Structure 1
Amino acid sequence: MEINPRRARELGMSRPISRRDFFDGVAMAVGAAALGSLTGCGMDAAAPGRIGTDRLEVPGQVTFPPGLTGLQGNTPAALSVPHALRDDRFWQYAGEARPTGENYDLVVVGGGISGVSAAFEWLRNDPNARVLILDNHDEIGGHARRNVFAPKGRMGPLIGYGGSQSIEAPSVWTAEGKNLLYLLDVDLAKFRTYFDRKLYSDFGMTDSVMCDRESFATEKLVRLTGGLTPERLAAQLPIGDRARRDLVRLYKNPPDYLRGLSRDQKEKRLAALTYSRYLLEVARVHPDVERFFRTTSSDEWAYDTTAFGAIDAWGSAKGWDYPGFQGLKLHRDKPSRFNSPSVIKQWDADDPDIYHFPEGNQALVRMMVGRMIPGFTDATDMDGITTAAFDYGKLDLAANRVRFRLSSPVVSVANDGGADKATSATVGYFDGNAIRTVGAGAVIMACWNMVIPYLVPELPGEQREALRKAVKMPLLYATVQLRDWTAWQRARVTRTRWTGAYWCVSELDHPVSMPGYTCSRDPSEPINVHMVATPAQSGMAPSQGAVAGRHVLINTPFSFMEYTIRDQLTRLLGAAGFEPERDIEAITVNRWGHGYAPEYCRPWNDFYPDGPLPADIARRRCGRIAIANSDSVPAAYADAAISAAYRAVAELQR
Structure 2
Amino acid sequence: MDRPISRRDFLDGVATAVTCAAVPSATVPAAHARTVPRARHAAARQERRHPARAQGLRGDTPDAVAVPHALRDGRFWRHAGTPEATGEHYDLVVVGAGISGVTAAYTWTRRHPGARVLVLENHDDIGGQARRNEFHPAGRAGPLVAHGGSGALYGPQAWSPEGRELLDDLGVVPGRGCDTGLYARLGMHEAVFCDRETFGADRLVVPRSRPAAEWVAELPVAERARQDLVMLFDDPPDWFPGLPDDHKKRLLAGLTYQGFLRDVCRAHPDVVRFCQTMPSATWAYGADALGALDAWALSGPFAYPGFAGLRLTPERSPYNSPRVAAGRAAGQADAYCFPEGNQALVRMMTARMVPGYAADASAEHVTTTAFDNAALDRPGNRVRVRLSSPVVLVRNDGPPESARGATVGYFDGARVRTVRADGVIMACWHGVIPYVVDELPAEQKEAMRRAVRLPVVHATAQLRHWRAWRDAGVHRVRFTGAYWVSAELAPPVSTGGYRCPAGPDEPVTAHLVHTPATPGTAPGDAAAAGRRALAGTPYAALEFGVREQLGRLLGPWGFDPARDIEGLTVNRWGHGHWCAYTRPWDAFHPGGPTPAHTARRRFGRVAMAGSDAVPGGDADAAVSAACRAVRDLENVR
TM bucket by the smaller chain?
over 0.9
3-state SS of the aligned residue for 1:348? helix
Counterparts of 1:25-424 in structure 2, within 5 Å, are 34-37=23-26, 63-188=49-174, 191-192=175-176, 194-226=177-209, 228-332=210-314, 334-351=315-332, 353-424=334-405
Query: CA contact under 8 A between 2:85 and 2:419: conserved in structure 1?
Result: yes
Provide the C-alpha distance between the structure 1 equivalents of 2:335 and 2:392, rounded to a whole number of angstroms. 40
2:11 is the counterpart of 1:22: no
Query: Tell me, what secondary structure is at the counterpart of 1:440?
Result: strand
1:356 CA drift (Å): 2.2
Change (3 A) 1:391 1:29: closer
Q: Report the alpha carbon displacement of residue 527 of structure 1 after superposing the two structures with TM.
A: 0.4
C-alpha distance in structure 1 between counterparts of 2:101 and 2:191, whole Å: 38
Which residue among 441, 446, 450 is the counterpart of 2:427?
A: 446
Q: How far did 1:268 drift?
A: 2.1
**Matched residue SS, 1:494:** strand
| Matched-pair contact (CA < 8 Å) for 1:597–1:631 | yes
Where does residue 648 of structure 1 map in the other structure?
Answer: 629
Deviation per CA, 1:432-475, whole angstroms, max 9, x where unpaired? 00000000000000001000000001110000000000021110
Using the TM superposition, give the Cα deviation of residue 26 of structure 1 relative to its aligned residue in structure 2, in angstroms: 7.2
Counterpart of 1:488? 469
Q: CA deviation at 1:424?
A: 0.0
Confirm or deny: 8 A CA contact 1:474 1:594 kept in the other structure: yes
Tell me the alpha carbon deviations over residues 87-116 of structure 1, each in whole angstroms, 9 at most, x when there is no partner.
001001110000000000000000000000
| Inter-partner Cα distance in structure 1 for 2:229 and 2:160 | 38
Structure 1 residues 57 and 468: CA distance shift in structure 2, 3 A: closer
Q: What runs of 5+ residues in structure 1 fail to find an aligned partner?
A: 1-11
1:260, distance to aligned residue in structure 2 (A): 3.9
Return the offset for 1:57: 8.8
SS of alignment partner, residue 288 of structure 2 = coil
Assess if the C-alpha contact under 8 Å between 2:90 and 2:422 holds in 1.
yes
Confirm or deny that 1:427 pairs with 2:413.
no
How many Å apart are 1:346 and its aligned residue? 2.0
2:611 corresponding residue in structure 1 = 630
Once the two structures are TM-superposed, the CA of residue 37 in structure 1 deviates from its matched residue by: 4.0
| Residue type of the alignment partner of 2:182 | L
Displacement of 1:354 after TM fit? 4.2
Question: How far 1:27 moved relative to its partner?
Answer: 8.9
Contact 1:506 1:531 in 2 (8 A): yes
Cα distance per residue 1:515-552 (max 9 Å; x no partner) = 11111111111100011111111111111101110011
Name the SS for the 1:399 alignment partner.
coil
Q: Deviations over 1:152-208 (max 9, x none)?
A: 1111111110111112221111111111111112234xx44x211222111111110
Q: Aligned-pair distance for 1:58? A: 9.6
Name which of structure 1's ranges 321-330 and 625-634 shifts more when overlaid on structure 2. Answer: 321-330
The DSSP-based 3-state class of the residue aligned with 1:595 is strand
Per the alignment, residue 479 of structure 1 pairs with: 460
Distance 1:505 1:56 in 2: 32
Select the residue among 599, 604, 611 that pairs with 2:580: 599
Change (3 A) 1:392 1:25: closer
Is residue 214–residue 501 contact of structure 1 (8 Å, CA) maintained in 2? yes
Select the residue among 527, 530, 545 that pairs with 1:564.
545
1:574 equivalent in alignment to 2:566? no
Shift of 1:48: 8.0
Amino acid at match of 2:102: V
The equivalent residue for 1:4 is none
Q: Distance in 2 between matches of 1:14 and 1:535?
A: 27
Q: Answer yes or no: is the 8 Å Cα contact 2:238–2:310 preserved in 1.
A: yes
Aligned to 2:381, the other structure's residue is in SS state coil
Against the structure 1 CA distance between its residues 243 and 74, is the aligned structure 2 distance closer, same or farther, given a 3 Å change threshold?
same
SS of structure 1 residue aligned to 2:267: coil
* Mapped partners of 1:24, 1:597: distance in 2: 31
- TM superposition shift of 1:19: 3.9
| Residues in 2 aligned to 1:147 and 1:343: alpha-carbon distance in whole angstroms | 28
1:455 aligns with 2:447: no
Quick one: which of 620, 627, 632 aligns to 1:639? 620
Q: For residue 198 of structure 1, what is the amino acid of its counterpart? A: G
* SS in structure 2 of the partner of residue 180 of structure 1: helix
Specify the code of the residue in structure 1 equivalent to 2:181.
K
Gaps of 5+ in 2: none
When normalised by structure 2's length, the TM-score is: 0.96
What is the distance in 2 between the residues matched to 1:167 and 1:325? Answer: 27
Q: Does 1:530 align with 2:519?
A: no
- Report how far residue 129 of structure 1 moved: 0.4
Aligned mates of 2:45, 2:68 — CA distance in 1? 31
- Looking at structure 2, the residues matched to 302 and 46 of structure 1 have their Cα atoms a distance apart, in angstroms, of 38
Match of 2:528 in 1: 547
- Distance, in Å, in 1 between the alignment partners of 2:553 and 2:312 is 38
Structure 1 residues 531 and 315, CA, compared in 2 at 3 Å: closer, same or farther? same
How has the CA–CA distance of structure 1 residues 290 and 392 changed in structure 2, closer, same or farther, with 3 Å as cutoff? same
Q: Is the 8 A contact 2:396 2:407 kept in 1?
A: yes
1:398 is paired with a residue whose SS is: coil
Normalising by structure 1, report the TM-score.
0.93
Distance 2:263 2:312 in 1: 19
